[in-house]
Each structure stands twice: as structure tokens, then as C-alpha cells.
Amino acid sequence: MSEIKTIGVLTSGGDSPGMNAAIRAIVRAGIANGLQVKGICRGYAGLLGSEIIDLDSRSVSGIQSRGGTILYTARCKEFYKAEGIDRGVQVLRENGIDGLVVIGGDGSFRGAQEIAARGINTIGIPGTIDLDIACTEYTIGFDTAVNTAMDAIDKITDTSMSHERCSIIEVMGRNAGFIALWCQIANGADGILIPEAEKFDERDLIDTILSNRQKGKKHHIIINAEGVGSSMRLARRVEAATGIETRATILGHIQRGGSPTAKDRVYASTMGAYSVDLLCSGATNRVIAYRNGHFTDLDIDEALAMKKTIDEYQFLVSQMIGQY
């Protein structure tokens, strides 16, 4: 029998579709292993406010098909300070929580690392639409988000084509260009702007649009990753330089919502169940990852020290097949 009797789960940082599937799996796997499961609402902020609820099997019924997180999420400044973390650990102990699962990104894992260092067994699950967690090839929500962006770009492409215009479409990703790169391959685009690219030459982009127009292309799509620069200003510059009507669309939070894809539901559920297995085996300070076709786990310290960049080959492919 495991020594752990009660586990807690929280979602932290940006929400992502599939988090609910992970929560459901944690609750159900926890109960199957004879554990009590508690939900901590609003991430670390809710932990400090003791916003803790009991979760049973029925309380998570059907949530795997819903985007967002039933536990709500938040950012919490107090958790950057030792006193805040000490208080959080005290609240966990007061509620009898001896194992914790944190679903979130790198920032949330730093909080999890601090909790683990104070003696509460803690496991991280990668949850972010941005895919920007170095230790894993999968993060909860990316698949749904990139499919949402792809559908939106298809729709914008239809109207862009009818009006023979140029469309600049801004996708999310914080400081990472994964959504943009996937969309360039999935949708086709005259160009992408991503934070990872060493240099971006606006003149090259304008020349590409002009040369594609000369070859007979009637519409143009530029995908701009959030964080590279203002899409509105870029649209004005492209229109001035090319003489082609250019509109900017910022997809925004639509990419965070919606019913999760099958992949997000299945992978998030697997990671949720895996986190319970880890807690039952006495593990702590681990983060779950998907690498080389397998679910696995790594030390959080090791995971946070890793660096991620876009796949060079994938980038080359996107450039090559994007040519008109």
C-alpha cells in the first residue's frame, strides 16, 4: 500500500483544452487506488486562500469533452516568495494533502519544485497550448489549439482569396513559434514570422508576395507568431510596399478554448493516470513527458534545465513546401 492517502490537483498559469480530461483521470485513478482526491481551485492563489474542494468520481463526469479547467486557473505573485510557498505547504498539510499534481507550464513547475523541496510529494503535468516545455514533445492543449488556428486560417483564406487580398494572421505561442510553424505547413502560407528564426527580413517577405502575385497568386497569407511584432503595423507596411490590400486578424483567446481533440483527451488522461501511479510509488519532484513515442517522467530540476527550439528539418520543410 502507498503511504499517500490524499492527493490534491491544481491547474496553474494559462488554461488549455484537455486540462479537464487530466483532472478527471487523476480523480478516477486516485479513487481506484484507494486515495481521497481534493481539487485546489485557482492554482497557487487558491491554495493560499484554502479554496479546496472534495472531488469524487461523479463530480468529474463528462468533463473530458469541455475546454478550460473546472478548477479555474490563476497566476499568483505571492508564490514567487519563500513565505508564500511556506504558507501553501502549510495549507496542504492542514488539509491532509500528502501528494500534489500540478498541471501547468514551466512557471507552475517551479512552484511545484519548491513544494516538493518542502516535503510534499509533487508531480508536474505539462499543460500549455504553446508546446514550449523542453522535456516533452506533447503538452496538453497544443493539438486542439493548432487545429483551432488551422480552421480559422482556412476560413480567412477563403475570404482573402475572394477579395484577392493579403491576410496577416497572428497566432498564439508566447515566445514560441510552434503553432505558427504547424499552421504554415498545415495551411500553406507565403511566410511566417516566428521568434526562433535568427533573422526576419521584411524586404524578403514583400519580395515573396510580389513575386507570387506576378506568378498569378491571387491571395497571400502571412502567419505572425505572437511576440514577434504588431500585426496591424505590419499589415500597413505590407500594403504600402506591395499595393495589395492587406488585413490583419489576431486569433487571440479563441485558440485557448473549445472541446479538446481526441489526442488531447487521450494523452491528457494518460498523463493524469500516470501522475497518480507516480505518487503511489512514492515519487516526487517529477514531471511527466511524452518522448520518442512513450510516456515517461523526469526530475523537475532536469526538465527545467532543458532548452527547446523548433525542429530544424520541420522548419526547412515549411519553407520548401511553402513556395508558390
Residues noted as catalytic: 130
**Cβ distance to ligand ADP smaller for residue 136 or 246:** 136
Cα 140 to Cα 71, 125, 144, 269: the distances in Å are 16, 8, 9, 10
Cα dihedral 252, 154, 322, 164 sign: negative
Which residue's Cβ has the minimum distance to ligand ADP?
107
Q: How far is the CB of 272 from ligand ADP (least distance, A)?
A: 17
Q: Phi, psi at residue 70, to the nearest 5°? A: -65, -15
**Cβ distance to ligand ADP smaller for residue 44 or 178:** 44
Distance CA(313)–CA(320), nearest Å, equals 10
Binding site for ligand ADP (CB under 6 A): 12-14, 44, 75-76, 79-80, 104-108, 110-111, 114, 128
**Cβ distance to ligand ADP smaller for residue 235 or 300:** 300
Read off the amino acid at residue 272.
G
Q: How far is the CB of 250 from ligand ADP (least distance, A)?
A: 20
Q: How far is the CB of 85 from ligand ADP (least distance, A)?
A: 6
Q: How far is the CB of 105 from ligand ADP (least distance, A)?
A: 3
**Cβ distance to ligand ADP smaller for residue 127 or 272:** 127
Distance CA(192)–CA(195), nearest Å, equals 10
Q: How far is the CB of 238 from ligand ADP (least distance, A)?
A: 32
Angle at 255 between CA 286 and CA 208, to 5 degrees: 110
Distance CA(33)–CA(2), nearest Å, equals 9
**Cβ distance to ligand ADP smaller for residue 38 or 256:** 256
Q: Which of 171, 205, 201 is nearest to 186 (CA)?
A: 171
Q: Do 224 and 192 form a contact (C-beta atoms < 8 A)?
A: yes
- β 6-11/99-104 pair status: parallel
How many residues are given for the chain?
A: 324
